[in-house]
Amino acid sequence: MAVTSRDRGVKNNDRPGRKPVKPPEDPASVGWTRAQRVRLVETGETFRLEAGGEVSPVDVEYETYGELNPAGDNAILLLHALSGDAHAAGWDAGAEAEGRKWRTRKPGWWDEMIGPGLPLDTRKYQIICSNVLGSCYGTTGPDDIDPDSGKPYGLRFPVVTIGDWVRLQARLLDHLGIDRVYAVLGGSLGGQQALEWALAYPDRVGNALVLAASARLSTQGLAFNAVARYSILSDPHFNEGDYYGSGGPAEGLAAARMLGHITYLSEAAMHEKFGRRLQDKSEPDFNFGIEFEVESYLAYQGRSFVERFDANAYLYITRAMDYYDAVKSWGRGDLTRACSRIKSRMMIVSFTSDWLYTPKECRKLALAVCRSGRPVTYVSVPSDYGHDSFLVETEKVGRLVRDFLASGRKNG
């Protein structure tokens, strides 16, 4: 199979800074992978949710890389971001199975970080990554069949929270026979899950690595998510969430992704990549079509996202991001009080050009952990890649992750 860029064929569509992908035969690759699925909540049981709803049954899709050692103390739980999934590394051998349109054959979203000899070294650790509840990638979500109606849930799916996701992940670890993880690790929305793990299950976490995330989303972040959801809900093909079997709200979802993608980048990265260059022309056409390269890039991001993601899932996941507030949930308004629950070693990493989860807010979280008396490492990484830096700056992030995990073993 020929190895190609995930974005080949569209000019200037690659995410700024991303490196070429590894073929499955590369010695540092985990090779071909296949997702596993387990029913963690059986029919007749209920999984009660923080917002008051419940769901049953519940299936969870996950992937593992590396082996659990005999002592069972080398597991790392990796938490994905908004549009991520359980497929974090290698090449998905089951991508074309089951006809689910959102499954695509591509390397995992953190392939540069996971594998033999890489920062998340599969010779030392077992890496576990699962899809969140409400996802469209195998874990029960709004595109699945509601047993009460025999039709896809759509907006009848109950509202979910990051706390719900973490409790379901804990059930997955129970199923796998893992009482305590060596580390939890995630960036962005995954970083919020890592923080929630350290707060909700302090005795089950040895190390927590929070990348490009803080205790809660900023007001500006809430505003961007609101506009993104408005784009979906206002699409004439949304049909109150019951669009399965039809074209669905493609334009609304594409617009939501275009808006969201802008928040993941920085002005410097966009200027360096695109500037004000026109798309395939030397003079403007003076119309409302695509004139600039940056417009072409965003249009591609919107189109490709529609092919791999579900609009309802986008609504549920962004809402969970909005609702997360570690200060309110665990500290009764006091972040230091919340962090006093933590028993793990912490590493919090911010990126200088990230304006979604700013260095100021990440540092505030690190100071609260420090004031609570827990060991914490805080690093502000210089980068022009914006919020996406945790995905793009793999050399810098990789060194931090490798060293922090190794120092935990020395101190443990």
Surface-to-core class of residue 99, CB atoms within 10 Å of its CB (0-12 exposed, 13-18 middle, 19+ buried): exposed
**Exactly one of 92, 354, 384, 388 is catalytic; which is it?**
354
Determine contact, residues 116/351, Cβ cutoff 8 Å. Answer: no
CA gap 376, 366 in Å, rounded = 7
**Exactly one of 29, 83, 130, 188 is catalytic; which is it?**
188
Strand, helix or coil at 380? strand
Which pair of tokens denotes residue 91? 């090449």
Tell me which residue has tokens 């991520």: 84
Q: 213, 180, 193, 111: which is closest to 408 by C-alpha?
A: 180
Instruction: Tell me if residue 144 is catalytic.
Output: no
Strand, helix or coil at 388? helix
CA gap 264, 262 in Å, rounded = 5
**Exactly one of 83, 387, 388, 389 is catalytic; which is it?**
387
CA gap 88, 77 in Å, rounded = 11
Instruction: Tell me if residue 340 is catalytic.
Output: no
CA gap 210, 191 in Å, rounded = 4
Q: Which residues are known catalytic residues?
A: 188, 354, 387
